Amino acid sequence: MQIISDIKKTSSLCQKWRDKGESISFVPTMGCLHAGHLSLIKKAQSLADHVVVSIFVNPLQFDNADDLLKYPVTLDEDTLKLADFNVDLVFTPKANAFYPDGENQVKQIDLGSITVLLEGAQRPGHFAGVATVVKHLFEIIRPNVAVFGEKDFQQLMVIKQLVETFPLDVEIIGMPTFREQDGLAMSSRNLRLSENERKKAPAIYQQLKSIKSAINASTNIDTADFVELERRACENLTAVGFVPDYVAIRETDTLSIPENHNNSLVILVAVKLGQIRLIDNIRV
């Protein structure tokens, strides 16, 4: 396994593989790797000759300086885990090489309406930062395929929109959310929960499951019923100490507000628990 932070060296190693007709799959990460990331890497291994994992805490996608500062960085543990997984290349760029003129000078990508709803409304500029870094990573590595987790459901939609908008020629694969035994979606942020918060956190998934059951049990459900289900879930989460940003029942393909249950739906949630912001979703 090679660990390279230099952009040119990374790009030329990937080019060497491509010249030999060998394919590349790519898993972009911000490090602090957990079993969810490792499941993406396993999938990536089944899809191509070489697996590249990037570890880069991208400053552009943080709308809150404190959140960026506190984002867990565990590079040594991460590279040990990746070596166990036979990853070919770990790309660990430095922010000043990635954004040589400074983050504020970077021209960010605007992918329109999908980036301003839900997470985009709560975290202005977040998806522009994600799209900008992922496009840059794709241009350096030029993978055949890239694997992302469905836990960041809207992010996955943004990435799909990115590759439709620009000629990046990469297939995007989404993988189901990996959960702890008690249902909490795996996230690097879980590490920052206190013991008490960690005990409360599975309530998020319980609320998602209970909305899903209510939708599946109704024969004639409409927008007003969806709004009532969202309201009740927010109330339940608030009662046990969460501060909900949103609980939203949406059409899976567009994230628009559904009028009925004719199309497939997704329920998305974002809450704060103490200082930590958690997101999750479930499909109906």
Cβ nearer to ligand PAF, comparing 130 with 221: 130
Our finding on whether 211 is near ligand PAF (CB under 6 A) is no
Shortest Å, Cβ 246 to ligand PAF? 19
Interface region with ligand PAF, contact rule CB under 6 A, candidates 24-32, 177-185, 196-204, 219-227: 24-32
Cβ nearer to ligand PAF, comparing 130 with 237: 130
Interface region with ligand PAF, contact rule CB under 6 A, candidates 22-30, 43-51, 200-208, 276-284: 22-30
Shortest Å, Cβ 96 to ligand PAF? 17
Among positions 109-148, residues that touch ligand PAF (CB under 6 A) are: 130, 133-134
Q: Contact 24/105 with Cβ under 8 angstroms? A: no
Cβ nearer to ligand PAF, comparing 56 with 242: 56
Count Cβ atoms below 10 Å from residue 73 Cβ, excluding itself.
14
β-bridge mates for residue 50, sequence order:
24
Cβ nearer to ligand PAF, comparing 28 with 143: 28
Cβ nearer to ligand PAF, comparing 133 with 247: 133
Our finding on whether 29 is near ligand PAF (CB under 6 A) is yes
Is residue 53 classed exposed, middle or buried when 0-12, 13-18 and 19+ CB atoms within 10 A define those classes? buried
Q: What size, in residues, is the chain? A: 284
Count Cβ atoms below 10 Å from residue 70 Cβ, excluding itself.
13
Total residues contacting ligand PAF by CB under 6 A comes to 10
The three-state secondary structure class of 66 is helix
> Of 206, 205, 212, nearest to 249 (Cα)?
212
3-state helix, strand, coil in the chain (%, to 5): 45, 20, 35
**At a CB cut-off of 8 Å and minimum separation 6, what does 30 contact?**
55, 56, 57, 58, 71, 188
Shortest Å, Cβ 111 to ligand PAF? 14
Interface region with ligand PAF, contact rule CB under 6 A, candidates 27-35, 67-75, 234-242, 267-275: 27-35
Our finding on whether 190 is near ligand PAF (CB under 6 A) is no
**At a CB cut-off of 8 Å and minimum separation 6, what does 115 contact?**
127, 128, 131, 158
Q: Does the annotation mark 37 as catalytic?
A: yes
Instruction: Pick the catalytic residue from 34, 37, 126, 136.
Output: 37
Give the H/E segment covering residue 90.
strand 89-91
> Of 11, 40, 2, nearest to 175 (Cα)?
40
d(CA 21, CA 7): 21
Running DSSP on this structure, what letter comes out for residue 176?
P
Shortest Å, Cβ 251 to ligand PAF? 23
Shortest Å, Cβ 39 to ligand PAF? 14
Among 10, 25, 39, 58, binds ligand PAF (CB under 6 A): 58
The contact set with ligand PAF (CB under 6 A) reads 28-30, 58, 61, 130, 133-134, 152, 155
Which of the residues are catalytic? 37
